[in-house]
Structure 1
């Protein structure tokens, strides 16, 4: 098995183990005795002492994998237990492919209550001539040091028998074992490319370490012996942990600039983002998986402390049809947009992800949305999507509560539409009068209907609606089609806010928040995959998890001087 594949499998396994227990979670009764609902019993990963402060990514499972396996099988319906067991066995087998080892016999007896995977650096040798050499580290807690040493002995014996040259090295009192392949000359570079070289170590009686190069292991040991280097001694990281709940079964840490460098293969840009680190605490909920988040500011950056703006969902949600699979709602859209756009400017990949849908709407309506719309939305707003069966592109609609300058802003939008050659007309939907921006087109009549006089051929005049808007009470409503507007006007009879699926999707989130971003994954995932191919790749990699996803809800909980809190709830079926 290729070494990179081995580490990707380990990383994927940590992620999947965090999620494998929750596939059938909603079957749990209201008074479940399962202790995992109260967390794994460990507040933070001890292995953070091996991880540098500038690590792009660290993901930790803070509960013994056997407990998750038992949990998954216990909550699965009788008819699903065979499938659940198969998924678990496939995961175990993927870890030890081509090793000749058995999980239950060789690993399970010593496996402890923490498994941490980290990308320690985007380039561990910092040599531009041989490209980026990413450092991977896996730290596994051991509950039986003697058995874990026996495991490593057997592990390396099999490689020695296969003809691999082994190196035994004492480094800072720790015994390192690693293979020593010959470097492969690169005719394009005078410097030989470092070859992947699996390295292992047992640190005290607590952890078994795996890395993809001895340099990565040495750096991990240095981080322990010089505590100022490690993530566990980062003041901002510790502060974030204090703001997050202690009932987690897992924790993730992301250094945003370093992650961007790793993914894009480029050095970090001079553009400074207001945020540098993200810490995520993962908890089990009766309906799925709750991720409590803390975004930490970059050095020298300060936020204006702000409490959550809302104590209940905004009234604009009354206009959102229950059939809308994607909805964003909150207050003060201009402030939200300014904060969001400033936050992602330094990261091209994320910036493109956010700006692409906005650019499509701007192209259809021919307006600068941040300047012409967002600037006057100071109060409630809601944005939604409605799929269409007759065309691949969905309809969009937007609801905003009136504020000072709203009437003038709507008149200005009408003027822009007319300047672009669109006609402004009135259309009545039920009892509601609306204003439509239409584009008039002519089409030659079909040949059988043409008159014999070729100089007087018949034409058909049609009006294509480019946008439509109206006022209902204190709200301005915009839509991309008549059909979408009609659904919005009728939504008060069955709004998303009263839908049981939506209610359950927001139930685990705090009442005091800044709004919601809600996705009904079952309805919208195909559209998301079409627009963002990377999502399709993620689904393929984590199929056993995505098959169980019902919905996804994101919320923000306000900010302090150097961090912003929020949450993501993944509801599962």
Structure 2
């Protein structure tokens, strides 16, 4: 077994253990004697080993075996239980590949209710000659000190039998064992009867022990960390804490982005819902930020009635100017900027207008924006805006003027007994080879955009077919969908509206526009294989802390 295989296997393992649990949450919709709905312990006890300046810390706060036992005992209603169990077993086996270790025999007997992994520093030895050496620390709690000590002894016996040269050190009352060489080293320590620590260098372990003995150095005593925990309420089975500026440097972003200029830390807590997984976030502003903004949506957004149930991606709320401000302040290299601006760029190309200036600027009430998948061409867009006195008419007239300046014609017709206006472009179509009139050239009107006024709403679409679906949508809309209603029922009100994704329909669109989605899917396969839909909502900023929730609805048979 290679010296570094074990450490990196466990380091990767803690990042997906949350996902192993997530893959099993679907079966927890039925009553379980393990009561995992109440979550695990409140906060990671291992935070006392982690330094304040750590870029990221990820903790699983419940024993992974409890998660497996929970869905093994629960009633299976999906018919996919066998497949998902195989997937979870494959994940666990792959984590310990090439380590000569067996989870059930070597780890399960002593593993407690917490596993924490942290990138502790960007360069633990602070030596420029050997490049940046990331500090990596894994901490697991033990429920059986004798068995965990036996495990550590067994690990080092295997290392020694394979020719590794072991070094032993007493550091502030704690026994350190480690190997060092040209390749990455590995080090371990057992602290008291409860904590088993592994690191990629003994310097990382020494620093972890210092953090415990000098609490002012540890993350657990950091005011920013404590404030983040105060803003994460309710039960949780996992917690992620991120220092955003340091994480940006860890990922190779040398310059500050608009996110790191505005926000300092991010905390994400995971909890169980009988329909899936709920992630609660607290995004903390930089020092001196004390902004307070109340949420703006306290009831269902009526504009959603014109989005058909088949919509792939939908955004709805009020005060579209907030979205306009957010999208315009993002730098071009931000993933958030891609998520917001790329779809708008596609829409602007199709309509030949500046969407934010020519439409968003006069939308002051409700809005709903949806992407409708098409099998034969690019997705269609549907945009619904609540009319405002004096501004809507002027805004629409301006759109018609802009369309004419782009060389488009504005024509009217009737659809579903409603007057409809279309922006069309005349193009020449050469004769086909089968045509008898080889020298004839015909004109074809290509629809660039369609609009209609229905009651207090203005509807814009990218095709006549999309407009037809929008006009018929109130009979079977996304707003009436059982799936959508279940999603938003798990999110608090009031809020700032919703971002909704039907996973099966939106996956190809997201993968095409955001390549990072494929990477996330690869690491979170147990979750995404069960993902039905997800819904995001923010619910205000209080004293510089912006809070939000993301609900992941799991189970392929839950669509309503």
* Fold in common (TM above 0.5): yes
1:314-329 equivalence runs, <5 A: 314-329=301-316
1:202-213 equivalence runs, <5 A: 202-213=190-201
Q: Is the 8 A contact 2:21 2:64 kept in 1?
A: no
Consecutive unaligned residues of structure 1, counting only runs of 5 or more, are 183-194
1:398 partnered with 2:380: no
Instruction: Name the SS of the counterpart of 2:294 in structure 1.
Output: coil
Q: Is the 8 A contact 2:58 2:117 kept in 1?
A: yes
2:360 to 368, 374, 377: 374
Work out the CA distance in 2 between the residues paired with 1:38 and 1:433: 55
**What is residue 216 of structure 2 aligned with on the other side?**
228
Deviation at 1:526, TM superposition (A): 2.1
Q: Is the 8 A contact 1:381 1:400 kept in 2?
A: yes
Work out the CA distance in 2 between the residues paired with 1:403 and 1:538: 41
1:53 partnered with 2:52: yes
Q: Is the 8 A contact 2:311 2:371 kept in 1?
A: yes
Instruction: Name the SS of the counterpart of 1:485 in structure 2.
Output: helix
Deviations 1:339-392 (A, max 9, x none): 4654x549634333432222222222222222222222221111001011211x
Deviation at 1:302, TM superposition (A): 2.9
Q: Is the 8 A contact 1:273 1:345 kept in 2?
A: no
Q: What is the RMSD computed on CA atoms of the aligned residues?
A: 2.4
Deviation at 1:115, TM superposition (A): 0.4
Deviations 1:57-78 (A, max 9, x none): 2111111222112112122639
Work out the CA distance in 1 between the residues paired with 2:131 and 2:348: 40
1:288 partnered with 2:273: no
**What is residue 201 of structure 1 aligned with on the other side?**
189
1:91 partnered with 2:76: no
Work out the CA distance in 2 between the residues paired with 1:566 and 1:426: 43
1:470 to 436, 441, 452: 452
Q: Is the 8 A contact 1:20 1:72 kept in 2?
A: no
Instruction: Name the SS of the counterpart of 1:558 in structure 2.
Output: strand
* Alpha carbons of structure 1 residues 14 and 277: separation in structure 2 relative to 1, 3 Å: same
**What is residue 185 of structure 1 aligned with on the other side?**
none
Q: Is the 8 A contact 1:294 1:563 kept in 2?
A: yes
1:68 partnered with 2:54: no
1:307-318 equivalence runs, <5 A: 307-318=294-305
1:126-525 equivalence runs, <5 A: 126-182=126-182, 195-263=183-251, 265-269=252-256, 273-303=261-291, 305-339=292-326, 341-342=328-329, 344-345=330-331, 348-391=334-377, 393-404=378-389, 405-451=391-437, 457-525=439-507
Q: Is the 8 A contact 1:16 1:545 kept in 2?
A: no
Deviation at 1:219, TM superposition (A): 2.3
Q: Is the 8 A contact 1:125 1:133 kept in 2?
A: yes
Consecutive unaligned residues of structure 2, counting only runs of 5 or more, are 556-560
Q: Is the 8 A contact 2:56 2:120 kept in 1?
A: yes
Work out the CA distance in 2 between the residues paired with 1:2 and 1:297: 43
Give the TM-score, by structure 2 length: 0.92
* Alpha carbons of structure 1 residues 447 and 286: separation in structure 2 relative to 1, 3 Å: closer
Q: Mean alpha-carbon deviation: is it higher for 536-545 or for 348-357?
A: 348-357
Q: Is the 8 A contact 1:17 1:68 kept in 2?
A: no
Q: Mean alpha-carbon deviation: is it higher for 328-337 or for 11-20?
A: 11-20
Deviation at 1:110, TM superposition (A): 1.4
Instruction: Name the SS of the counterpart of 1:497 in structure 2.
Output: coil
* Alpha carbons of structure 1 residues 251 and 571: separation in structure 2 relative to 1, 3 Å: same
Deviation at 1:49, TM superposition (A): 1.4
* Alpha carbons of structure 1 residues 339 and 237: separation in structure 2 relative to 1, 3 Å: farther
1:121 partnered with 2:121: yes
Q: Is the 8 A contact 2:190 2:197 kept in 1?
A: yes
Work out the CA distance in 2 between the residues paired with 1:439 and 1:97: 60
Aligned length: 552
Deviation at 1:102, TM superposition (A): 2.3
**What is residue 560 of structure 1 aligned with on the other side?**
542
Deviation at 1:151, TM superposition (A): 1.1
Instruction: Name the SS of the counterpart of 1:449 in structure 2.
Output: coil
Deviation at 1:6, TM superposition (A): 5.0
Deviation at 1:281, TM superposition (A): 1.3
Q: Mean alpha-carbon deviation: is it higher for 550-559 or for 52-61?
A: 52-61
Deviation at 1:401, TM superposition (A): 0.7
* Alpha carbons of structure 1 residues 72 and 4: separation in structure 2 relative to 1, 3 Å: farther
* Alpha carbons of structure 1 residues 82 and 411: separation in structure 2 relative to 1, 3 Å: closer
Give the TM-score, by structure 1 length: 0.90
* Alpha carbons of structure 1 residues 268 and 445: separation in structure 2 relative to 1, 3 Å: closer
Deviation at 1:444, TM superposition (A): 2.2
Work out the CA distance in 1 between the residues paired with 2:60 and 2:328: 33
Work out the CA distance in 1 between the residues paired with 2:267 and 2:190: 27
Deviation at 1:319, TM superposition (A): 0.8
Q: Is the 8 A contact 1:69 1:88 kept in 2?
A: no
Work out the CA distance in 1 between the residues paired with 2:9 and 2:310: 38
Q: Is the 8 A contact 2:537 2:548 kept in 1?
A: yes
* Alpha carbons of structure 1 residues 52 and 24: separation in structure 2 relative to 1, 3 Å: closer
* Alpha carbons of structure 1 residues 270 and 324: separation in structure 2 relative to 1, 3 Å: closer
1:543-558 equivalence runs, <5 A: 543-558=525-540
Work out the CA distance in 2 between the residues paired with 1:180 and 1:4: 10
